[in-house]
A and B are shown apart, each in its own frame.
Chain A
Amino acid sequence: MKTRVHIIDNATGQPVEAEIFDEITVEHFIETQQNWRPVVLKAARQLASRSSHQLIPQHFHWDWTTKAPELKVLANVFYGISYDNQLQGLMKLETVGQFCTCRLPEQAGKALVYVDYVEVAPWNLKPLASALGEKPRYNAIGTRLIEAAVLKSKEEDCKGRVGLHSLPMTELFYTRACRMTPVGRDPAKQNLLWLEYTAEQAENFLTGAR
């Protein structure tokens, strides 16, 4: 699957056509280690030196290459967004498993698609780009990825139902930008906030996101 989507080029404020795709290979994981991780670490060091530890992303240690064996598992679906010959974002979904069950009372027990990991290239994240004296390059990467998760949920007959655990720094993104419903802290997952879409909320998000 390859689909054209719009992201925002912050240099011009104009939408540009990026590509979202699910044919993820280990090469994409290696690309994140080679191109993303050094930038993340450099920015994290800058933030630490300014005592701005709270802005250091909680996912700075992620290593996608450790997920290479998971590419062969049919329950997992990976998506990437590329623009300007560079990977701008990466996401891992689970279509079945421990967290693929709804918790919101009105849809408890129903199947959902679980967003296991989402990462946006560091040059698109404001705290990291700012730490390096730059402006974020592109906007709407995370939104496009969550949109892809909702579309996958519909394809899997889950009607758009999506759930995820959010790191503390991204809670506002999921509640405000994505308008997901915060359900509660999950002691089974480092007490992270569990958020969910109902089918109706997912449809509203898709309508608003386009």
Chain B
Amino acid sequence: MADKRTMTLNLTDQEMSLLEDLSARKDVSKTALLRQALRLYQVVEARLSRGEKLFFEDDEKKKAELMVV
């Protein structure tokens, strides 16, 4: 396991509520969820930087492009 460093994170009530809701749904700790989110952001960012686009597709195969800031 890689060495880990600790940081303090300040969240609004709404952000904390969202974090708690997502971590409950995913059944992982809040820390694990934030680490997953960071890694996912890296994946998205790497693909967008290569000129790829991010889409969501519904059951009828309709695609919606997701804008990422």
Measured CB to CB, the residues of A under 8 A from B are 1, 73-75, 95-97, 100, 107, 109-111, 155-159
Contacts and interface: CB of A to CB of B under 8 A. Distances in A.
Contact of B36 (A107, A109, A111, A159): A111
B25 A109 contact: yes
* Most chain A CB inside 10 Å of its own CB: which residue of B1, B36, B42: B36
A137 B33 CA distance: 41
A4 to B, nearest CB: 16
Interface of B: 1, 25-29, 31-33, 35-40, 42-43, 46
Nearest to B27: A110
Contact of B28 (A1, A73, A107, A158): A158
Contacts of A100: 36
B1 A96 contact: no
Nearest to B31: A157
26 contacts: A1-B1, A73-B43, A74-B39, A75-B40, A75-B42, A75-B43, A95-B39, A96-B36, A96-B37, A96-B39, A96-B40, A97-B43, A107-B27, A109-B26, A110-B27, A110-B28, A111-B26, A111-B32, A111-B33, A111-B36, A156-B32, A156-B36, A157-B31, A157-B32, A158-B27, A158-B28
Contacts of B27: 107, 110-111, 158-159
Contacts of A1: 1
Contacts of B43: 73, 75, 96-97
Given A97-B40, A110-B27, A157-B32, 14 more contacts: A73-B42, A74-B38, A75-B39, A75-B43, A97-B43, A100-B36, A109-B26, A111-B26, A111-B36, A155-B1, A156-B28, A156-B32, A156-B36, A158-B32
